[in-house]
Structure 1
Amino acid sequence: MKIKKITQIANQLGIKNKEIYLYGDYMAKVDISILERLKLNSKSHLIFVTSINPTPYGEGKTTTAIGLSQALARLNKKVILCLRQPSLGPVFGIKGGATGGGKASLYPEDDINLHFTGDCHAITTAHNLISAAVDNHIYWGNKLGIKDRIWPRVIDMSDRSLRTVTVGVNINKKGFPYQDNFVITSASELMAVIALYRNLPEFKKMVSRIIVGWNEKGEPVYVRNLKLTPALLCVLKSALNPNLVQTIEGNPVFVHTGPFGNIAHGNSSLIATEMALKLGDFVITEGGFGSELGLEKFVHITARKAGFKISVVVIVVSLRALKYHGNSKFKQALPLLDKHIEIIRKFSLFPVVAINKFPEDSYKDLNYLKKYCEQELKVPAEISNVYV
């Protein structure tokens, strides 16, 4: 490992000490005010990492993205990686952490996978503050005439027993008790808002127009109606700043926000990507699930809003996933790969296949897949062994 102090990582990127907030020696937040100082980098290239339909264990997008960033760094390229931050639910579930693996990992791994810099906890608090404010408003007379609550509660943990609950059982007033539910923090609308905002005025506007319920006339009730926006900004102030860490080879990584691809848009924060494109020459990011979700949503939502232009799409494929979708016969699932390449090309983007190698893979099958990509699909393909 070539671990560096995070101040050294920041200084190498051109970030001043006064523009970062330290969380120990190896993690920091970068103040969003830096965007006012930085100029557009005409030399920057955006590389997007996606995959075919993954298995429940993941397809290796994060590991591949980390390995690619380390490879470019070894070629003396100024490269910055942008990733979503982990959620505690999947960390303790079948999928595990979100910091790569083997020789393609982030540092400090445990801190990033667990509490990190407190962003998820801040979002949890802010989200549940809205829930409490809605109930409090109804309890004290319901001046807004809220009839249907549509704002759930959140917890950053997969706790099946809390998915459907009855709350307010000891309150003898109209509107109580009622059935509510908990969702995981990454599914909070606030997570998606932080991942998509570009500046503080826009963030305030986006938060203020969140709908929390419907009144007796069938009209929406907004956060601004509860006069909560200033309080939410105070709670989320630190979470708005991207987190800076490194790979185990000492290369810079922004890890910020973690919206799920099947619920929200599944990309790391727009503001971190914008920051990286101004600081680096090569920026690598990834999207949740496959090209039909994370990539499409990045193109339609994040890139469209920010004006990002993707230079190349790296699509991660594995024999394990092809066998999973092809009833243990990877050749039967090759049409699935064809469709993902088709999706990428429909956006007029250039695909490159990274065949993520697992220990049980035979080189006979790996070479067959590589040849299929190059000759049948006319797509450059390489066997990726960044894990080891």
Structure 2
Amino acid sequence: MHKSDIEIAREAKLLPIQEIGAKLGIEPQHLMPYGHTKAKLNLDYIDQLNGHKQGKLILVTAVSPTPAGEGKTTTTIGLCDGLNRIGKSASACIREPSLGPCFGMKGGAAGGGYAQVVPMEDINLHFTGDMHAISAAHNLLSALIDNYIHWSNEIRLDLRRISWRRVVDMNDRQLRHIVSGVGGPGNGFPMESGFDISVASEVMAIFCLAENLEDLQQRLSRIVIGYTRDKQPVTADQIQASGAMTALLKDALAPNLVQTLEHNPVFIHGGPFANIAHGCNSVIATKTALKLSDYVVTEAGFGADLGAEKFFNIKCRKSGLTPDASVLVATVRALKMHGGLAKDQLEGEDLEALKKGLSNLGRHIRNLGQFGIPTTVCINRFSGDSEAELEMIKDYAERHGVKAYVCNHWADGSAGAVELAEAVAGLVDNQQSQFRTLYDDELPLWDKAKLVARNLYGAEDITADMKVRNQFKQFQAEGYGHFPVCMAKTQYSFSTDPKLMGAPNNHVVPIRELSLSAGAEFLVVVCGEIMRMPGLPRVPAANNIYVNDNGDIEGLF
């Protein structure tokens, strides 16, 4: 009988975090411990690392997600452990989990099996308080906006054009659209508003793109909170909010250091959604890891059409990072679902369904090739996979110009990822990355959205009503035309229809609305029915989470 992920994590013998830091050459005085097994790195120490070595950056991404699971984080951890097993100095950089998915559909997000990051319960729940700090900074701005309107409103903010909403790190559909300020003059002015989930906040995106505290405060000051009656933008700086917001985020901006089950270093910092935000961990954590390790394995949210595209076109563009290789994670089960099987039909060999589903893998391989970096495929093996199914994927990948490797890191830890680790190390050591973004800054915003839809989604075109088209023109005219676009669509399909799996072609991508993230410096392009505040499923994961008689958390993962 297999042990559960939480049982495996609970049995692990964790090293003091100072010993994990020592593997990276970090002296104890530069760590700010949160208990015995978690710590933040001092920001002053990070500033002193300028001029240190520059490691190789490896991105782990995946085919389009399915309920069958792909194991992107598990592969990130397994590859990091595998690289260390073959004698390389490697660390991993991943995002902090959001409470919304943890209590909703997903459960925990710290890897799985024997490729996990620990302490797992802490990481999935309150960790070092970063999520709470981001939520507090965001909602402080909301409170300051309301207070400014209540007492003076000298700028003449239009109450109908306040674009800044509130956030909570929980799936709560009831809060999507609200009216606030009811109950008389003492309670402010009645206004329409709503809540987003915290990981969709622009503050989160800014937090993960900021290079340092000064950059953080400057970006926060440029947040557009709404418009005046004559449609002039109003920023957070104009209501003197950015200083206090920065104060709330000061400690959180320091990256968090933890460890894998095999005692290898992992930086977990920031957690923007890969739909509304860019789906990558913080720039500070990634750059710090690259100065302390020869190889850094990172991940981006959802499939390569969402997370990897934003990693390349937003994170790397804004930070100057140059990825050296990518690993595309696929599973037999997921590809059979893309071939038309339901989740309850995945047991047993089905080469015909797998053959149909391989089109999804092929589209992602082709897409990654457009960014000019070497790519390999990781087949994250499940116990029910047949040898014929595994060989079919390997043959398909080779026909598309990449090598595929079967990995067993979930069951065997680093030993199950040695072949992949050797292949990836060979790629980054022997092939020169020709990394390029998909488009230049100068391309108009509308054309950027169309290029992503056509080149990556296989769409024939994009469409929008006149209001949205005028918004594109407005943002272009206001000086935001050089921003990249952050395409927000369903993660389950290349189209905006989550039921259209595989690799659909010649569909049209409808653009519903635009949202300017002036501080993060990108334009959110909302496509189809995607939401900023998810709802809980009929049976949320939270229903099965409890604390047992020994005080241990059960059901989290």
Shorter-normalised TM-score: what interval?
A: over 0.9
Once the two structures are superposed, what CA deviation does each residue of 1:62-120 show, in whole Å capped at 9, x if it has no partner? 00000011111111211010000000000111111110011001110000000000000
SS for the counterpart of 1:292 is: helix
Count of residue pairs brought into register by the alignment: 387
Once the two structures are superposed, what CA deviation does each residue of 1:193-248 show, in whole Å capped at 9, x if it has no partner? 01001122211110000011111110111000110111111111111111100101
Q: Are the counterparts in 2 of residues 56 and 95 from structure 1 also a CA contact under 8 Å?
A: no
Structure-to-structure mapping, 1:1-150, within 5 angstroms: 1-42=12-53, 44-56=55-67, 58-147=69-158, 148-150=161-163
Question: Aligned partners of 2:259, 2:69: CA distance in 1, in Å?
Answer: 22
Question: Aligned partners of 1:216, 1:43: CA distance in 2, in Å?
Answer: 50
2:147 is aligned with what amino acid? Answer: N
Match of 1:266 in 2: 279
Question: Aligned partners of 1:55, 1:332: CA distance in 2, in Å?
Answer: 15
Q: Are the counterparts in 2 of residues 57 and 94 from structure 1 also a CA contact under 8 Å?
A: no
Matched, 1:172 2:185: yes
Q: From 268, 290, 296, give the equivalent of 1:283.
A: 296
Shift of 1:259: 0.5
Question: Aligned partners of 2:41, 2:213: CA distance in 1, in Å?
Answer: 15
Matched, 1:212 2:225: yes
Matched, 1:381 2:404: yes
Q: Tell me which of the two structures has the higher relative contact order, counting C-alpha pairs closer than 8 angstroms and 6 or more residues apart.
A: 1
Structure-to-structure mapping, 1:320-339, within 5 angstroms: 320-328=333-341, 329-339=353-363
Shift of 1:136: 1.0
Q: Are the counterparts in 1 of residues 381 and 406 from structure 2 also a CA contact under 8 Å?
A: yes
Matched, 1:221 2:231: no
Question: Aligned partners of 1:324, 1:349: CA distance in 2, in Å?
Answer: 28
Matched, 1:295 2:308: yes
Match of 1:199 in 2: 212
Match of 1:345 in 2: 369
1:385 is aligned with what amino acid? Answer: N
1:277 is aligned with what amino acid? Answer: L
Shift of 1:304: 2.2
Shift of 1:7: 0.9
Once the two structures are superposed, what CA deviation does each residue of 1:16-66 show, in whole Å capped at 9, x if it has no partner? 222211100000011222233224455621111011111146421100000
Shift of 1:295: 1.3
Question: Aligned partners of 1:360, 1:160: CA distance in 2, in Å?
Answer: 37
Question: Aligned partners of 1:361, 1:211: CA distance in 2, in Å?
Answer: 50
Question: Aligned partners of 1:323, 1:171: CA distance in 2, in Å?
Answer: 58
Question: Aligned partners of 1:174, 1:12: CA distance in 2, in Å?
Answer: 55
Match of 1:317 in 2: 330
1:282 is aligned with what amino acid? Answer: Y
Once the two structures are superposed, what CA deviation does each residue of 1:280-311 show, in whole Å capped at 9, x if it has no partner? 00000001112212112111221222222222
SS for the counterpart of 2:363 is: helix
Question: Aligned partners of 1:8, 1:89: CA distance in 2, in Å?
Answer: 33
SS for the counterpart of 2:185 is: coil
SS for the counterpart of 2:43 is: coil
Question: Aligned partners of 2:383, 2:106: CA distance in 1, in Å?
Answer: 18
Once the two structures are superposed, what CA deviation does each residue of 1:225-277 show, in whole Å capped at 9, x if it has no partner? 11011111111111111110010110000000001111111110011000000
> Any gaps of 5 or more consecutive residues in structure 2?
1-11, 342-352, 412-557
> Please, what TM-score do these two structures have when normalized by structure 2?
0.68
Q: From 369, 378, 386, give the equivalent of 1:362.
A: 386
Q: Would the alpha carbon gap of residues 240 and 265 (structure 1) be closer, same or farther in structure 2, given more than 3 Å must change?
A: same
Q: Are the counterparts in 1 of residues 68 and 334 from structure 2 also a CA contact under 8 Å?
A: no
State the percentage of identical aligned residues.
46
1:158 is aligned with what amino acid? Answer: N
Shift of 1:316: 0.2
Worse overlay, 99-108 or 30-39:
30-39
> Any gaps of 5 or more consecutive residues in structure 1?
none
1:317 is aligned with what amino acid? Answer: A
1:343 is aligned with what amino acid? Answer: N
Question: Aligned partners of 1:57, 1:254: CA distance in 2, in Å?
Answer: 27
SS for the counterpart of 2:274 is: coil
2:405 is aligned with what amino acid? Answer: E
Q: Would the alpha carbon gap of residues 58 and 31 (structure 1) be closer, same or farther in structure 2, given more than 3 Å must change?
A: farther
Matched, 1:243 2:267: no
SS for the counterpart of 1:55 is: coil
Q: Would the alpha carbon gap of residues 224 and 280 (structure 1) be closer, same or farther in structure 2, given more than 3 Å must change?
A: same
Question: Aligned partners of 2:315, 2:54: CA distance in 1, in Å?
Answer: 20
Q: From 386, 396, 415, give the equivalent of 1:372.
A: 396
Q: Are the counterparts in 2 of residues 20 and 30 from structure 1 also a CA contact under 8 Å?
A: yes
Q: Would the alpha carbon gap of residues 36 and 141 (structure 1) be closer, same or farther in structure 2, given more than 3 Å must change?
A: closer
SS for the counterpart of 1:341 is: helix
Once the two structures are superposed, what CA deviation does each residue of 1:180-199 show, in whole Å capped at 9, x if it has no partner? 11111101101000100112
Question: Aligned partners of 1:332, 1:357: CA distance in 2, in Å?
Answer: 19
Question: Aligned partners of 2:88, 2:213: CA distance in 1, in Å?
Answer: 32
Once the two structures are superposed, what CA deviation does each residue of 1:313-356 show, in whole Å capped at 9, x if it has no partner? 10001122212222121211212211111111111111100011
C-alpha RMSD of matched pairs (Å): 1.6
Q: Are the counterparts in 2 of residues 2 and 250 from structure 1 also a CA contact under 8 Å?
A: no
Match of 1:255 in 2: 268
SS for the counterpart of 1:315 is: strand
